[in-house]
Structure 1
């Protein structure tokens, strides 16, 4: 997801229409929520690696058009190392793990698990960026992972199978959190769109070993499913990242972070309407407890934890 470094308008300039930031946020959240549903739908047609490669190639091409229109990026060697790590972890491992996880759990359950990312970010920031480890963070961690435990054990007869999906989704959340900590010093010196495009392109390269599987899956997939892959690359990836970056320039990160609590209900509603799936009853309680944990961990302002989690 784009970096959490909003910048204010310079003095004396005319601000954008008040409805534009709200429209940008609405577009971002809707596309991100729909991504979980699309991934779940495509789980029977595309393997996790093939779906990741297809989405990232489309996303990198679209992001490249926007990024190159703003000039060529010139990262230093050290910055390239961080961008490469983000590309491997955030775009490579994250996408493959999430795609695999949604073969075992429904879209609503997956998004509630990913929502623990800000707690992990706050923990990593306390460990590696010298941010304070507060009582709020400790309590938030306990609540969030208590919610995860409820999600993992709340699927009845399918608990063993769902546990695999829970672990994979938590892996996705963890590598995202690591990537955001790596990203913090980068975005202070490089444009957000360039960092996102380069990392997405590296993620696509990392997923190239799945090219043969992508070709085989694409041959057997229906035209509708192929369009869903294109949709994932264009809308939840390229367009949603762009509208989110715009929203960050016109809103505070903390205000924008609150809006991401809308992603789980949006995903659950879309999953019910399009796939006829809803999370098991206990998952709602676990998801609510996890979100309470995130809110508690954010009780004290923190630069990274205030940023929204990356949905899909």
Structure 2
């Protein structure tokens, strides 16, 4: 779900690789990497935006109810408004555009394009006064070279799908950076409010686009259930555990792993193909991300920031 490193998380203590940390890492790596393939299956018979509306609204309501039962305070009107802004940019603009693009593009290619999110995050950080150093600029250039190679060799999609795949990480990273300066509800309640408001907005977009609901296949329904339970609840809870118990660079290292998992699933289970130039492009993109995200001073002070579909 929402994948950002807050300023509070930046002070999270470094920790040993305990069994719990390793389990949480495995969940985030595999589950968030598999959501691209899950989306492809879900939209086989479900409308893209309507499917996402169900996914995030159900997950958000479940998490919201759980937190309220645990005594978490109700978000204020101002916090609901900020959550709607973040939900619009991350869930509507980020995940929503990826899902629309996957109608005409493979899940493997979608994951590879979204891998450049940390590069865009470095650019948007300048809007709030964060300095971009020489190595970050080099990483951005390397990542964009990877995208160029991907377009030459593998991006077999309509021009609209290609445009959506570029806009999605722009929306996600801008929303992630802006969210650090908005009055969001604290902790997991912020995620719940963003999913609830984002789900409502996605339903609204679905109605505006005139999406039609037919009879869904069992495969699409199972994929939707997987995305809701594991992609939006389990994996995000595991991610928040990592944020609280280890350094941000490790907690957000999924940015390096998710594209590889997505490609392997798309090729191995989805019958998608990836040529030699595509594998080279994937390596170049990940090299650019590592240049941007590698710690400047202390390992606990920075980490990658990438869209989790």
2:130 maps to: 131
C-alpha displacement of 1:311: 2.3
Q: What is the rounded CA distance, in whole Å, between the counterparts of 2:145 and 2:134 in structure 1?
A: 16
Q: Give yes or no for the alignment of 1:172 onto 2:168.
A: yes
Separation of aligned partners in 2, 1:267 and 1:280? 15
CA distance in 2 between counterparts of 1:169 and 1:204 reads 20
Work out which of the residue numbers 287, 296, 302 in structure 2 matches 1:292. Answer: 287
The SS at the match of 1:220 is coil
- Residue 216 of structure 1: CA displacement? 4.8
**CA separation of 1:255 and 1:135: change in aligned 2, threshold 3 A:** same
d(CA) in 2 for partners of 1:256, 1:66: 24
Q: CA deviation at 1:117?
A: 0.8
Structure 1: state its 5+ residue gaps: 10-14
Structure 1 residues 296 and 195, CA gap change in structure 2 (3 angstroms):
same
CA RMSD of the aligned region, Å?
2.9
Secondary structure in structure 2 of the residue aligned to 1:301: coil
Cα-to-partner distance string for 1:238-294 (whole Å, 9 max, x where unaligned): 111111101111110012233431212211222233212133432222221111111
Per-residue deviation, 1:51? 1.9
CA 1:279–1:180: 2 relative to 1, 3 Å:
same
How many residue pairs match? The answer is 301
Residue 230 (structure 1) aligned with residue 225 (structure 2): yes
Give how far 1:305 is off: 6.2
Partner residue, 2:91:
91
Cα distance in structure 2, aligned partners of 1:304 and 1:166: 34
Alignment partner, residue 264 of structure 1: 259
SS of the residue corresponding to residue 131 of structure 2 reads coil
Task: Check conservation: 1:123, 1:137, Cα contact below 8 A.
Answer: no
SS at match of 2:269: helix
Secondary structure in structure 1 of the residue aligned to 2:105: coil
Offset, 1:235: 0.9
Q: Is the 8 A contact 1:153 1:163 kept in 2?
A: no
Residue pairs, 1:16-55, within 5 angstroms? 18-55=18-55
Alignment gaps of 5+ in structure 2: none
| Equivalent residue, structure 2, for 1:115 | 115
Tell me how far apart the structure 1 counterparts of residues 192 and 268 of structure 2 sit (CA, whole Å).
Answer: 32
Over 3 Å counting, the alpha-carbon distance change for 1:21 and 1:204 in structure 2 is same
* Shift in Å, 1:24: 1.0
1:72 pairs with 2:68: no
Look up the match of 1:310. 307
Name the structure 1 match of 2:149. Answer: 150
Q: Which residue of 1 aligns with 2:193?
A: 198
TM-score, with length taken from structure 1: 0.86
Aligned to 1:12: none
Deviation at 1:214, TM superposition (A): 9.7
2:272 pairs with 269, 277, 280, which one?
277
